Amino acid sequence: MRIARALATTALASAALLATAPAALADTAEVTPGTVPPGGTVTISVSCDAPTSPAPDTITADSQAFELGSVQLTRVPGANSGVAGPAYRGTAKIAAADKFTGSGPNAVGPRSTWSVDGNCPGGGQWNARFTVAGGGATGTASPTATQPAVRGGVGGSFTDSGTTVIIGGALVACAIGATCVVLRRRRGGARH
C-alpha cells in the first residue's frame, strides 16, 4: 500500500508541475496599437525568458501584414535586470491599403486580424495579434499565449527549452520506476 501511495503522490506532483509549465514557458509579446489602418505603424514589444547564452542585440518579428514581411526588434537596455530575460522592441509599417482590399488571391475584408511572431534567444516562441482596419488606430492588443508550433524537417530541426526537456525526462523516469516496481512485485508474489 505504501508504494501505491508514493506513486499517487508522484503522479499528483507531476500533474501540478505540468499544469504550471506552459505559463512559465510562454514568452509574452504585445502589439500597440491593437487596431491600425493600412499604411500605419505598430510597435512590437517582446519579453523573453532568460537565455542560457548571451542575448543577441536584435531578434526578428514576422507578419504577412508588415510592408516588408519582417522587422528587427532591438534589445531594450537594462530591461533584463535580475532573473528576468531580455526585452525587445521595434516598429513596423503596415502594408498599403491595396493589400487589404477585397480583390486578389489573398483577399481580406475591410477589418482583418493578423499575427506577428518570432523566436526569443533561448528558442521560446512568441505570438501576438493585431487588427488592420480602415479606421484610425485604437486600443492595445492583448497578448496571446504561445502555442507549440508544428516543426517539420529531418534531424536537427527541433529545438526545445531545457525546462521542457527536464520535465519530460522526469516523467519518463517516473513511468520507468513505476513499471519496475509493478514487475518486481508480480515476480516476488509468484515466488512465495
DSSP-derived letter for residue 108 is: -
Nearest partner of 46 among 62, 35, 65, 66, judged by Cα = 62
Strand order in the sheet with 28-32: 28-32, 41-47, 87-93, 70-75, 58-62, 111-119, 125-133, 35-36
Neighbour tally for 179: CB within 10 Å: 10
Contact 53, 121 (CB under 8 A): yes
pTM, rounded to two decimals: 0.54
Q: What is the pLDDT of residue 153?
A: 47
How are beta strands 41-47 and 87-93 bridged, if at all? antiparallel
139's CB contacts (< 8 A; 6+ apart) are 33, 34, 35
Domain boundaries, the chain: 2-20+164-191, 27-145
Q: What is the pLDDT of residue 100?
A: 66
Pick out the chain residues at pLDDT < 50.
Answer: 19-25, 104-106, 135-140, 153-158, 192
Q: What is the pLDDT of residue 156?
A: 45
Q: What is the pLDDT of residue 118?
A: 93
CATH class of the 27-145 domain in this structure: mainly beta
Separation between Cα atoms, residue 160 and residue 155, nearest integer Å: 14
